[in-house]
Chain A
Amino acid sequence: MNPITDIAPQLIRGLGTTVTILIASAIFSYVMAFIAGLCRLSKNIFLRKFTGLYIEIFRGTSLIVQLFWLYYAIPILFDINLPSNWIIGVIAIGLNYGAYLSEVVRGSILSIAPGQSEAATALNMSSFQRMRFVIFPQAIRMMMPEFGNYTIQMLKGTALVSLIGLRDVFYYGDIMRSTNLAHAPLIYVVVLVFYFILALPLIFLTRKAESIAKKGVAN
């Protein structure tokens, strides 16, 4: 069995699913991260507690159980049909990593030295302007490396969607293995190489983000 001519073409069939799931759940998780991260810093105690609950539940339980829960339990409990497996995958991964990333958002904002906000106040900025022009631009720089790291983890997490019937890279690898058991080592090596190649640009971007984060922040 030739890895280039036999295995790779099979795996490529799953590339679209893996990549679109990654992109969609990354975007969804970033949005969740900012909403939840800012809610955690809100003056409203109800909002803070409620978001805290979301974060702890999604950080404290396993992604695969969350995925199965959405896939099997929700339709039974609420008697609804979820639109597609693809969307379920995106929601589960997005909510899970959004919970982790919201702590990154919160931590980065809190890590900006209080003197920055005070200087902005001395220039008569409103609380929104302080956030918009002074705190947030610096916090974003600090967040970027962690966002990169979690996005790489998300890519690896997408392999779980094969368990709810989505045909991603891992799914096609697994199918080949089940019909060519003797070639399992080679097949899985090629699968690993696929994920590694997909991760490469993310690794590169994370490195880049780290060097940007190092300069241009007061703490």
Chain B
Amino acid sequence: MAEPIVRYQDVHKSFGDVEVLKGIDLDIYPAEKVAIIGPSGSGKTTIIRMLMTLEEPTSGDIIVDGTNLWKMEKNGGLVEANEKHLRSVRGDIGMVFQHFNLFPHMTILENCMTAPIRVKGEDKQEVEEHSIQMLERVGLGDKIHNYPSQLSGGQKQRVAMARALVMRPKIMLFDEVTSALDPELVGEVLEVIRDIAKNDDMAMVLVTHEMDFALDIADKVLFLDEGVIAEQGTAADVIEHSQNERLQEFLSRFRG
């Protein structure tokens, strides 16, 4: 099997006195689709936020494509990463958020175009074409000159996905992307994720409460409970063969 594109090695994270993650070991392979499930407050979101450099681990290492994300070499030793190092490593990672976080002062198209032009220095013309392509792909080709405030929640979330896709990430993180949506808008967003999962060869990590969807598209399912990965395997393994009582209890809550 290929080398993992992301590797967590004994990663701990505390907020104040509360230890949220108590030693995470996890490999994510290129093009692998990973779903993280588990009760609220189990640290699911924190796992991917550390990979996006939004939270710093308390201890442990996260290796991205062979490079330590949070530590860098200096004078023969490892020191805390500075911004330059973080930027050089996280460039292949994209993220979609629960609350969309679109830039409200920019049009939909500008939301997509700013980073490729300003961060990656790509050609404006090409970025515009690519952005329009991606916005059409998520079904919003007719809204490119609208502002985020003019869109529904589901549409905003689809723009957020197009915005992440335009950066051509190798790893895409989805942080409870349907949790803030009205129930009737969840479907359109899941359809886009399914389309990305099927047609793009990037690795995907989904933190989600959409259990059936997660089990359907994921190559690997992690059950996170009380700060540790309590169970992992293929969807079938995890659902049908797991002896973990808390997992069974957790799953049963999603089955009426």
A binds B: yes
Cβ of A182 under 8 Å from chain B: no
A115 within 8 A of B: yes
In chain A, residues 48-68, which have Cβ atoms closer than 8 Å to a Cβ of chain B?
none
B83–A126 touching, CB < 8 Å:
yes
Whether B50 is near chain A, meaning CB under 8 Å from some CB there, is no
Q: Is B250 an interface residue (CB 8 A)?
A: no
CA distance in complex: A138, B149 (Å)? 14
Residues of A within 8 A of B99 (CB): 115
Residues of B within 8 A of A119 (CB): 95, 97, 101-103, 160
Say yes or no: A115 contacts B97, CB within 8 Å: yes
> Could you tell me the distance in whole angstroms from the C-beta of A144 to the nearest C-beta in chain B?
13
Count the B residues whose beta carbon is within 8 Å of the partner chain — how many? 28
> Contact mask A122-142 → B, CB, 8 Å, 1/0?
111111010001100110010
Asked if A31 is at the interface (CB within 8 A of a chain B CB), the reply is no
Q: Are B114 and A123 in contact (CB under 8 A)?
A: yes
Which residue of the partner chain, among A116, A124, A218, contacts B115 with CB atoms under 8 Å?
A124
Give Cα A8 to B149, complex, Å. 49
Given known contacts A122-B95, A123-B163, A127-B83, A216 and B115 CB-to-CB distance under 8 angstroms:
no
Q: Is the CB of B90 within 8 A of A124?
A: yes
Q: Does A217 contact B (CB under 8 A)?
A: yes
Distance from B101 Cβ to chain A, minimum over Cβ atoms (Å): 4
Query: What residues make up the interface of A, taking CB atoms closer than 8 Å to B?
Result: 113, 115-116, 118-127, 129, 133-134, 137-138, 141, 215-218
Chain B residues lying within 8 Å of A126, measured Cβ to Cβ, are 83, 87
Nearest-neighbor residue (CB-CB) of B99 within chain A: A115
Q: A145–B163 Cα gap in the complex (Å)? A: 31
Contact A123 B119 (CB under 8 A): yes
CA separation between A133 and B93, bound complex, in Å?
Answer: 20
Is residue B53 within 8 Å, beta carbon to beta carbon, of the partner chain?
A: yes
The 9 closest A-B pairs by CB, nearest first: A119-B101, A123-B115, A122-B95, A115-B101, A218-B104, A216-B105, A124-B119, A124-B91, A137-B105
Chain A contacts of B93 at CB under 8 A? 122
CA distance A110 to B212 in the complex (A): 39
Nearest residue (CB) in B for A137 is B105
Interface contact A133-B118, CB-CB below 8 Å: yes
Counting chain B CB atoms within 10 Å of each CB, the highest count among A120, A127, A133, A137 belongs to A133
> What 0/1 pattern do residues 79 to 97 of B give for CB contact below 8 A with A?
0000100010011011101
Cα–Cα, bound, A65→B147 (Å):
49
A-B contact pairs, 12 of them (CB 8 A): A115-B101, A116-B101, A119-B160, A121-B53, A122-B93, A122-B95, A124-B87, A129-B118, A138-B104, A216-B105, A217-B104, A218-B103
Query: Taking CB as reference atom, which chain B residue is nearest A138?
Result: B105
Report the separation of the CA atoms of residues A217 and B99 in the bound assembly, to the nearest whole angstrom: 14
Q: Given the interface contacts A118-B54, A215-B149, A216-B149, does A125 sit within 8 Å of B101 by beta carbon?
A: no
Separation of A124 and B53 alpha carbons in the complex (Å)? 10
Complex alpha-carbon distance, A138 and B147, angstroms: 14
| A-contact 0/1 string along B114-140, CB 8 Å cutoff | 110011100000000000000000000
When distances are taken between beta carbons in the complex, the residues of chain B under 8 Å from A113 are: 101
Q: Determine if B104 and A125 form an interchain contact, defined as CB atoms under 8 angstroms apart.
A: no
Asked if B167 is at the interface (CB within 8 A of a chain A CB), the reply is yes
Q: How far is A215 from B146 in the complex, measured between Cα atoms in Å?
A: 13
Q: Is B52 an interface residue (CB 8 A)?
A: yes
Contacts A121-B54, A122-B94, A125-B119: A134 and B149 contacting too (C-beta < 8 A)? Answer: no
The interface residues of chain B lying within 8 Å CB-to-CB of A123 are 94, 114-115, 119, 163-164, 167
Q: Given A216-B147, A216-B149, do A122 and B103 touch, yes or no (CB 8 Å)?
A: no
Q: Which residue of B lies closest to A118 (CB)?
A: B54
CA distance A66 to B159 in the complex (A): 53
- CB atoms of B114 and A133 under 8 A apart: yes
In Å, the complex CA distance between A126 and B163 comes to: 17
By the criterion CB–CB under 8 Å, are A129 and B119 in contact?
Answer: yes
Q: Which of A124, A141, A216, A218 has the most CB of B within 10 A?
A: A124
Which residues does chain B contribute within 8 Å of A125, judged by CB atoms?
Answer: 115, 118-119
> Which residue of chain A lies nearest to B116 when distances are taken between CB atoms in the complex?
A123
